[in-house]
Structure formats: C-alpha cells, structure tokens
Structure 1
C-alpha cells in the first residue's frame, strides 16, 4: 500500500481511522466468534473442560504474548518508515521481525515444555481435574508457538503499512479451519474421537500454523512497503544491525511490560482458581462475553498505533496527538454502547456459553461490573497502543506496572477475600482499567511520548 495521503480536514482524518480500524475490528470480532465457538463446544462437552481453559488460556496467552512483544517495536518502526516514505527501511524492519519471531517463538515453546507443563499441578493443586485437562490442551497448542509469533509480527508489519484488509482475509480463512477442526475433535464427529480440550489444542495449533504460512505469503508480494521481497539476510550490513538495535531497544520495555502484566495476570488467575472450578467456569463465560468489546477496542488500538507511528515518521506530531485523542473517543463511544448492551442482556448472554443455571446467575451479577469497565477499558487499550506506536514503550511499561500489578491484584485480593466471588474478580479488573485511564490521559497531554523514537538508530 502506498504512503498515506496528506489528510487535511478532521472529517477526513476520522475516516482514515475508521478505514484502518474497521477491517481490524472485523478480524478481531471473527476471532471472538471463534472464542465463543470454543467455549460453547467445551462447555457442552463438560464443565471441567470449560474450567480448564481458565488455566490453559492465560498460560498460553502469557507465553506467546511475551514472546511476541517485540511486534510492538515492529509496529512503531515499520510505521515510522512508511510515514517517512522509506520503503527500504520498512522492508528491512519487517524481515528482521520475522527472523526474530521464529527464534523467540521457539524459545517460548521449549520453555513451556521444560518449565511450565511439568509444574502445572503444583501451581493449581486444588484443581487437579481441570489442571490435567489444561495440560492436555497446552501439550498440543504450544507446539505452534513459533508460528503464532510469525503471524503476530506479520500482522503488525501489514497494519503499520496501512493494510488491515489482508489480516482480515487471512483471519477468515484460518478461523473457518479452526472451527471446523474444533467441531470434529472436541465432541467427536464424522468418526473422529471426542478429545475435548485436547482436540481444541490441535485446532489451535493448526490455526497458528495456517496463519503464519498465509501471512508469510502475503508479505512475499512484491511492491508492498513492508514486503519481504527481494529477500536478503538482514544482518549483513550496518543498516540491518542498526535496525536490529532499534527493534531490541523498543522491544526491551515492551517485553518487560508484557512480563510484568502477565506475572500479575497469572497471580490474578491463581486468585480466581482459589474460588473453585465453578467460579473458573463462570469467569470463562464472562471472558467470552467481554471478548466482543475487547476485540472491538483492539481494532481501534491497531489503527491508533499505526497512524501515530506514521504521522511521527512524517514529522507531523500534532496530527499524531489528534489521532490518539480521536481514536480513543471513537472507542469510548463504541464500548459504552457495549456496556449498555451487557446490562440489558446480562441474564441472556451467559446462557449462550454455559447450560448451568448457577453459573449463569453468577456471571449475570458480575456483568454489571463488566459494563461499568467498558469506557475505562477503551481509554486504556487505545491510548496505550498509541503510546506504544509512538515508541514510548518505557511509559507503557510504567502504566502496566502500576495498573496491572499493583491496582488489579490488591483490589482483586480484597474483593474476593470479602466474599464477592467472581464479581470481585471483575472489580479488580475495572480498577486496573480506571487507573490506566488516568495515567494515560496525563501522559498523552504532556506529550513527552513524541520524542521517543528520535534517538533510535536510523535502521
């Protein structure tokens, strides 16, 4: 895709945000549909299988999320190069990111098999049945961690170059495959064995692999700003080594942020596990419901981060500031609408995920808190990604450390200890998003994020 046009009027700038965000939102909502399909199939297979995903899901997410954190640097560097019209640099950053993706994904896979799977029963000793089912899922799903990282890096490069349509097309194809394999292997159809969560693991691994291959093919098209063609080993000259140093510098804080967040999140998961298998299953129903709004706001965040990076690369910091505010405003309006929907349908939505009336009632009570969290989550996700797109990964690390590690854990511990159950879990989450909102608004207003990439090697 060509260098972004010089957009002069606010309505035209809003259209540029929506144009970039809409395919990203569609792709992410498609993923949400797949999450719903997963949880519905597992929930009807057994409550233990559904509850096991409260253990397996966060562990899988933690490992691949930390391993792919470098893609934050990919977004900032490719976006900056595209905004400056330097397509050679954009291709160099993309190629380096793909090589790094394979290496870090492999490390994550090996770490999981060496350290995580052998200790799963120790970490979740009071949920033996769910922990064993979670282990069966992770044994298979994490085989594809390198492919997951390749897909994330490729999507970041495409989005930074202004192309969110290609990831949508890839997502459609991959998710059709995912749901089909789920249907065959979770409950057992057309002569296939009923594998439950292990079957979901096989479908996840197949999806990650297909996504990586299709993303690699998309980036191999000639003429793209972020194309891998003509391929050349990126570390053989000074420009390539400078680009690697730039990626490493941005990724250091981004990876630290992910580590901090996920250490806190695993402690958060442990607090939920203390409440028992039923609470974990109820919480999984809530996660599936909130995923609709979370994936929507991630689409706005994709647009925000990419456009901020492009505007800074084009030396238009005022427009970068405007993009951050406008993207956040659109997200707040959208997620506030979701909050009202969650309130209105709080008794009906949980019934779509689990057939058990007691779990539905517990989820319905907590949905009130989920609804309140929506505008805060909009600010936290979108403005946070704008800060990362600017390359200010150190500031993003600070916000995540305070909100995710301090506020979320303290409030969740107090609320669950005082008998609020699953609702207390979501009180902690809401307090986290509210604290991020205050910090990120202050950071964006101060404007120090504008200079974050100026001292990086040229790459």
Structure 2
C-alpha cells in the first residue's frame, strides 16, 4: 500500500485491493455453495442435513474467524506507523490464539453436538447426515483458523492477490473431492452430504499449507521474517488481540447466528421448507460476499491511513466504499427479482422446492440492501479500531429486535416461515442506520482530536 493524493489514485488502490478480496470471498462462498448444491442433487434429505449442519457451523466459524481477523487492523496500523519489525511477533500470537480457539471448539462440539441436534427433533436420516457432516468438518478446524490468521496478515499488507490465488487453487480441489465423495465416483465411497464435510476438511488443510509456504518464502512477507523466530504465547499480547478481535467476532457472530437461529426455529416446518429456506440463504450469502469484501478492504485502507494520521484520506475511502456497496446491491436486487427462477433451479430439480426458493429470494432483496450499508460501515469502524459499539448495535438489532419480531410474525400471523424473513429484514435495517450514526460520531471525534494535537 502507498499514500494517495487524488480520488483517482484512491479508486485505483481501492479496486486493486478489493478485487482479489472479492474473488477470494466468492470462491470461499462457492465452496459452501457447491457443498449445498451438490448435496441437494444427491437427495432432499442430504440437502436438508447439510443445511442444518451448515447453519450450526457457519456462525461458529465466522464468529471465531472474526476474532482472529483482529490481526488485520493491528498489522495494518503497525505498517502505517512504520513498525514492521513487530509484525512477526503479533502474527505468531495470532496463531497461538487460533490453536486455542480450535481446541475449545473441538472439545465443546464433542459435548453439545448430539444434544443440540436431538433438541431440533429432526427426521432421523436428516439428523444423521447433519451429525456426520459436522464431525467431518471438525477435522479441518485447526487449519481453517490457522489459515484465517495467515490470510489476514497477507491482506493487511495489501497483498490480496495472494489470498485470491490460494483460494482459487482450493475451489477445484473442493469441488473435485465433493464429486468423488458425495456421489462415490472412481471407486470412492458414496457418502452423500457427509462427503461434502470430508471434502471441506481436506481443502482447509491444503490452503493452510500453501499459505504457510508462501509467507515463509515469498516477498514481501519474507522481509517481515515471519516464523523465523519462535515466540512463546504471551497473555499480554493475547489480551490485545482479544480486545480488538472479540468485538469483531461477536458482531459477525450475532449477524450469522441469527440466520442459524431462524433455521433452527424453522425445523418445525417440513423438510421441503427447510431445504428451500437454506438454499435461498445460501445464495443470499454468496451475494453478501460483495459488501463483506468491501468491508475487509475498508478495514485495511482506513487502518493504514488512520495509523499514518491521514484522517481526510480515511474518510474519503469510507465514503467511496459504502457508496460502491449500495450501488452494487441495487444490481444484485435486479438479479434476484428477474432471475429468481433460474437461481432456484441451481439447487433442486423438484418443482415444489424451486417455487419455495424463488419466493424466499424475493425477501432476500431487502436484507441484502441493508447489508450493503451495515457491513462496509463496520469495516470502516474496525479501521478506526472502534469495535465495541458495533458489537452492541449488532446484538440489539438482530437479537433484541429482529429475531423476536420474526418469531411473533411466524407464530402468531398467517405469514408462517416468511415471518422470520421479515424479522431479519427489520433487524438488519435498524442495524444499518445505527452503525451509520456511530461512524459519523467516530469520524467527528477523530477530527477534533487531530485538530487539538495540531
């Protein structure tokens, strides 16, 4: 990254960092897409089982990965303040934290997975597929969280093309393994939806190994001397990582977990409804990669400019990013509106399921527009290292307002399953407004502090 003077230079640098992140996020979401899609082609029970498993795993993965992503603003701030010699130590502490979190997740999962699935009162075959899918995913937790730390470091240096290349390698590996293990091709066992979990776990090990090799041997990472020296776990450094990472992780968790909660609450509906709901959520999650990528780009650029004391540049990047996200959300809304039937056909061959998916996608139009405001705004706030208020806002908007509203509408009106989606739309819209208000206040505070200092 480098200092920019004009809006044109900023736009070039913004897109230079954004485009690889977007490709990376789309490829990562494509892994989940192909897991769901290819499982659905094997059978409706496999689609429902993987849907339930993904709904339980996704908020855990994204929330805890969010904690580890706290390394991004730390590293970008160190680079902006010309303290690159401290980067290797911080990255090592991040890997220690990733290992601790992985072991906690594996231990907790072994204790509570069966009771949670039993509580959902699923059809026996769907419950069995969900259980074995999650057990298979568990074999890839350690490399997945380790890769999150390494990738966040790569991105913080502005080398987002490296992350893109690693993920583009991972995608065909995952799809190929899905084909072999879900359908039992070329002598491999036919595992159905469970095969998607096995394929994902193997893929996580592959991308972690590639990422470690690159940062150890390639420039510009080599000059940072990453992993050249061993550092013991430091409680003080972990505290600093957690101070930034925990609010980020919980903000992400509250948003993703509310979708998982809706899926759990919808388990009282039939298998077709569960499958259609999850297919629609899966596609909407793929579209969500656009504002999420802009969010990550803004964290890097705003963190770099803020660390350098260039507050005007940081503010210009934030306006540029949020405006782009909203504009693109209008385009994706048109895709959902006019191509909903074609999208639904990607997930199932059964007319009843396709019709339900298409109906759910209409509701997805509204909450993905709110995401286009809320998610990039959170990225800017992380660049300013202002993370605690966003975490509180997300909790209130999604869990105090959104989920209860959806439950009331689904249970006490004739809306049924669609009531939950209206609740989600309500919570996301309120969260977007509150986050924007917080951003305006933070930027004004930083401007006043800068004026006093100078």
TM-score (norm 2): 0.92
Q: Deviations over 1:349-403 (max 9, x none)?
A: 1011111111111121222221122321111111112212322120121121112
Change (3 A) 1:47 1:125: same
Deviation at 1:253, TM superposition (A): 2.6
Taking the aligned partners of 2:269 and 2:389, their CA distance within structure 1 comes to: 34
Correspondent of 2:91 among 80, 89, 94: 94
The aligned counterpart of 2:100 is 103
The aligned counterpart of 1:291 is 285
Deviation at 1:311, TM superposition (A): 1.0
Question: Are the aligned partners of 1:137 and 1:197 in contact in 2 as well (CA < 8 Å)?
Answer: yes
Deviation at 1:67, TM superposition (A): 3.1
Taking the aligned partners of 2:151 and 2:227, their CA distance within structure 1 comes to: 19
Deviation at 1:64, TM superposition (A): 2.5
The aligned counterpart of 1:300 is 294
Deviation at 1:284, TM superposition (A): 1.9
Taking the aligned partners of 2:444 and 2:251, their CA distance within structure 1 comes to: 16
Correspondent of 2:81 among 81, 84, 93: 84
1:72 aligns with 2:66: no
Deviation at 1:242, TM superposition (A): 5.1
**Residues 6-25 of structure 1 mapped to structure 2, 5 A cutoff:** 6-25=3-22
Taking the aligned partners of 1:252 and 1:41, their CA distance within structure 2 comes to: 34
Question: Are the aligned partners of 1:121 and 1:128 in contact in 2 as well (CA < 8 Å)?
Answer: no
Change (3 A) 1:170 1:159: same
Q: Structure 1 stretch 314-323 or stretch 259-268: which is displaced more?
A: 259-268
The aligned counterpart of 1:444 is 439
Taking the aligned partners of 2:297 and 2:100, their CA distance within structure 1 comes to: 27
How many residues are matched?
A: 445
1:247 aligns with 2:247: no
Deviation at 1:47, TM superposition (A): 0.4
Deviation at 1:230, TM superposition (A): 5.2
Correspondent of 1:393 among 368, 387, 397: 387
**Residues 418-437 of structure 1 mapped to structure 2, 5 A cutoff:** 418-437=413-432
Taking the aligned partners of 1:88 and 1:327, their CA distance within structure 2 comes to: 30
Deviation at 1:119, TM superposition (A): 1.2
Question: Are the aligned partners of 2:297 and 2:379 in contact in 1 as well (CA < 8 Å)?
Answer: no
Question: Are the aligned partners of 2:73 and 2:300 in contact in 1 as well (CA < 8 Å)?
Answer: yes
TM-score (norm 1): 0.91
Question: Are the aligned partners of 2:68 and 2:97 in contact in 1 as well (CA < 8 Å)?
Answer: no
1:186 aligns with 2:209: no
Taking the aligned partners of 2:16 and 2:44, their CA distance within structure 1 comes to: 41
Question: Are the aligned partners of 1:347 and 1:361 in contact in 2 as well (CA < 8 Å)?
Answer: yes
Question: Are the aligned partners of 1:90 and 1:225 in contact in 2 as well (CA < 8 Å)?
Answer: no
**Residues 219-234 of structure 1 mapped to structure 2, 5 A cutoff:** 219-221=215-217, 223-224=219-220, 227=224, 229=226, 231-234=228-231
Question: Are the aligned partners of 1:285 and 1:353 in contact in 2 as well (CA < 8 Å)?
Answer: yes
Root-mean-square deviation (Å): 2.2
The aligned counterpart of 1:457 is none
Q: Structure 1 stretch 125-134 or stretch 171-180: which is displaced more?
A: 125-134
Question: Are the aligned partners of 1:363 and 1:422 in contact in 2 as well (CA < 8 Å)?
Answer: no
Change (3 A) 1:259 1:377: closer
Taking the aligned partners of 2:254 and 2:286, their CA distance within structure 1 comes to: 25
Deviation at 1:100, TM superposition (A): 1.5
**What is the SS of the residue equivalent to 2:189?**
coil
Change (3 A) 1:133 1:293: same
Question: Are the aligned partners of 2:60 and 2:253 in contact in 1 as well (CA < 8 Å)?
Answer: no
Q: Structure 1 stretch 404-413 or stretch 141-150: which is displaced more?
A: 404-413
Taking the aligned partners of 1:160 and 1:449, their CA distance within structure 2 comes to: 25
Question: Are the aligned partners of 1:66 and 1:259 in contact in 2 as well (CA < 8 Å)?
Answer: yes
**What is the SS of the residue equivalent to 1:190?**
coil
